[in-house]
Amino acid sequence: MKIHKSSSSLKEALLPFITNRKTIGFVPTMGALHIGHVSLVEQANIENDCVVVSIFVNPTQFDNPNDLLKYPRTIENDIDHLKRFSKNIFIFSPSALDLYNHDISSKSYNFSGIESEMEGKHRIGHFDGVGTVLNLFFRIVKPNKAYLGEKDFQQLQIVKKLVEIENLPIKIIGCPIIREKTGLAMSSRNKRLNIEQLSEAILIYKTLLKVKENFKLLSISKLNQLVEKEFKNHNYLTLEYFEIADTETLKTAIYKSKKKKYRAFIACFIGGVRLIDNMALN
Ligand code: AMP
């Protein structure tokens, strides 16, 4: 397994696959890999002749310089995670200069309003950064399919729009959220939590489950109140937002319609670490 640090080196390695019309699966990541990431690689590995895993902490999608600075970087451990895939796995870990070709800035996208909801409201410019970097990656890797986790559900919907906007022939595959035994969604950011914080963070999953259990019984405003109460005056967790949103548009739901699908979304802070999670409700 070779690590490609430049786009020219990766393109050269992929050329035989492209020439022989083999399929390429792509798993974009920011590294600090865990079993959640590995599940995406597993699916890509089953469905394609080769898989590219990118490891790149993208500066243009961080609105908070401290978050970017503190983002865990564990390349040796990442390589270990990928060793279980014996062949045809390419790690692509370029420098920002190589990837962005010296212009490290975001394009401005209109993702039909999805970019202005939830994460878009709280992380200004985040989805322009995500769209820009994935557009660059997609044009270098030229995958048939790209695999993204439902853990970042809004991002998944954004990337589906991105390939439409950029007219790229790539199928975007959404993969289920992988959780710890406790229910906490696996995340690279969990590495920044101590044992006590890890155990308190389970409240996120428990709250989502409670919302799901009560979804048929309670109105949206009652469900919102229920969540606020769970987080109010909590010693460790500070709620940034809770929303029940339409799965397609990600617009905040005010009342329930039988014809629509909904998901519950939570963003919160624990000891300065920002965690997000979500769950399908119906
Ligand atoms: P990240 O490295 O956090 O940017 O994540 C890279 C990809 O892995 C994204 O598509 C995430 O949605 C996905 N991912 C992260 N955590 C999980 C998880 N617990 N379960 C499934 N997919 C995940």
For the stretch 166-220, pLDDT in tens is 999 999 999 999 999 999 999 999 999 999 999 999 999 999 999 999 999 999 9
The reported pLDDT for the residue numbered 81 is 94
Residues 46-73, mean pLDDT to the nearest whole number: 93
Q: What's the mean pLDDT when you consider all of the chain?
A: 96
Query: Binding site for (R)-pantoate: what residues are annotated?
Result: 61, 155
How far is 30 from 209, CA to CA, in rounded Å?
A: 28
Using an 8 Å Cβ cutoff, are 1 and 82 in contact? yes
Instruction: State the burial class of residue 132 (Cβ atoms within 10 Å of its Cβ: 0-12, 13-18, 19+).
Output: buried
Ligand 1 pocket, 58 CB below 6 A?
no
Of all protein residues, the one whose alpha carbon is nearest to atom 22 of ligand 1 is: 149
182 in any annotated domain:
no
| 29 part of a folded domain | yes
pLDDT for 86 beyond 80:
no
Single-letter code of the amino acid located at 78: D
- Domain total for the chain? 2
Same domain, 142 and 219: no
- Does the structure show a pLDDT above 80 at 62? yes
Place of tokens 């939570």: 266
Least confidently predicted of 8-12, 233-237, 239-243: 233-237
- Cβ proximity of 211 and 205 under 8 Å: no
Is it the case that residue 2 has pLDDT exceeding 90? Answer: no
143 ligand 1 Cβ < 6 A: no
Ligand 1 atom closest to the Cα of residue 151 is 12
Choosing from 118, 152, 175, the residue where a domain stops is 175
Instruction: Give the pLDDT of residue 224.
Output: 98
Residue 34 to residue 77: CA distance in whole angstroms: 9
Q: Which of 157, 177, 3 is nearest to 79 (CA)?
A: 3
Is the domain of 149 the same as that of 266? no
Distance of alpha carbon 244 from the chain centroid: 19
Q: Which atom of ligand 1 is nearest to the CA of 147?
A: 10
Predicted confidence (pLDDT) at residue 15 exceeds the cutoff of 90: yes
Examine residue 12 and state whether it is found in any structural domain, yes or no.
yes
Query: Domain check: are 146 and 248 in the same one?
Result: no
Mean pLDDT of 128-143: 98
Query: Does residue 76 lie in a domain region?
Result: yes
Residues 147 and 60 in one domain: yes
Averaged pLDDT for residues 105-117: 96
Mark whether 6 and 120 lie in a shared domain.
yes
Supply the pLDDT for residue 225: 97
Q: How many CB atoms lie within 10 A of CB 246?
A: 15
| pLDDT for 98 beyond 90 | yes
Distance 23 CA to ligand 1 centre (A): 22
Q: Is the CB of 129 under 6 A from ligand 1?
A: no
Please identify, among 151, 175, 199, the residue that sits at the C-terminal boundary of a domain: 175
Domain annotation covers residue 180? no
| 270: amino acid identity, one letter | I
Residue 87 has pLDDT above 80, yes or no: no
Q: What is the pLDDT of residue 175?
A: 98
Residues with catalytic function: 37
Regarding whether 158 and 20 lie in a shared domain, the answer is: yes
Evaluate if residue 235 carries a pLDDT over 80. yes
- What does the pLDDT read at residue 61? 94
User: Tell me: the pLDDT tens digits for 19-35?
Assistant: 999 999 999 999 999 99
Minimal-distance CA residue to ligand 1 atom 18? 36
Q: Is 123 in the pocket of ligand 1 (CB under 6 A)?
A: no
Please indicate, yes or no, whether residues 157 and 263 belong to a single structural domain of this protein: no
Find the mean pLDDT for residues 125-130.
97
pLDDT mean over 117-145: 97
Q: CA 66, 197, 126, 29 torsion: positive or negative?
A: positive
- For the purposes of burial, counting CB atoms within 10 Å of the CB of 9, is it exposed (0-12), middle (13-18) or buried (19 or more)? middle
Sheet strands side by side (includes 273-280): 237-246, 262-270, 273-280
